[in-house]
């Protein structure tokens, strides 16, 4: 199985002082060895933006890009990047508000690649909620 990590799951996986780091690390460690983790342009850009912008992190852009690059090198587990050719017309039918757009896009992207969206958010229909 390939698991597309949403932005919060990606941050929790890679930032040791994130409040959900331990449960995400435990979940990843418990995945079957053949499973793959995935990112996409939205999750990677969101990771870099939030680490730079959030008061609790304030990590320079280049430093967060380096953290992401090491993760993508996949030394602990295979990581892939899902290509994204989807637009607004491809949004999931349950998307009704601005707050749901990115979640709906990521869910549809994961499904289009035969993958599952992995998230810490319990409000995304048909996504896998990582146990916290």
Q: Which H or E element spans position 33?
A: none
CATH of the domain at 76: 3.40.50.1010
Half-sphere exposure of 48 (CA within 13 A, CB side): 14
Given a cut of 90, is residue 76 above it in pLDDT? no
Structural domain tally of the chain? 1
Contact 7, 120 (CB under 8 A): no
pLDDT in tens, 93-127: 888 898 899 999 999 999 999 999 999 999 899 99
Q: What is the pLDDT of residue 16?
A: 93
Over residues 5-42, the pLDDT tens digits come to 999 999 999 999 999 999 999 999 999 999 999 999 99
Give the residue from 81, 89, 91 showing the smallest Cα distance to 5.
81
Asked if 127 and 121 touch (Cβ cutoff 8 Å), the reply is yes
Structural domain of 103: 2-129
CA 122 from chain center: how many Å?
Answer: 14
pLDDT band at 64 (very low <50, low <70, confident <90, very high): very high
């Amino acid at each position: 199985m390939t698991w597309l990590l949403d932005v919060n799951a990606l941050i929790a996986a890679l930032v040791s002082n994130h409040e959900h780091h331990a449960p995400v690390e435990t979940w990843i460690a418990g995945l079957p060895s053949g499973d793959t983790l995935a990112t996409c342009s939205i999750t990677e850009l969101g990771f870099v933006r939030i680490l730079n912008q959030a008061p609790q992190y304030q990590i320079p852009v280049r430093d967060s890009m380096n953290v992401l690059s090491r993760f993508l090198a996949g030394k602990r587990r295979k990581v892939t990047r899902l290509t994204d050719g989807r637009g607004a017309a491809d949004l999931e039918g349950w998307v009704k508000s601005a707050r749901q757009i990115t979640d709906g896009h990521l869910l549809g992207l994961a499904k289009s690649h035969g993958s599952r969206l992995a998230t810490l958010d319990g409000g995304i229909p048909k996504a896998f909620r990582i146990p916290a």
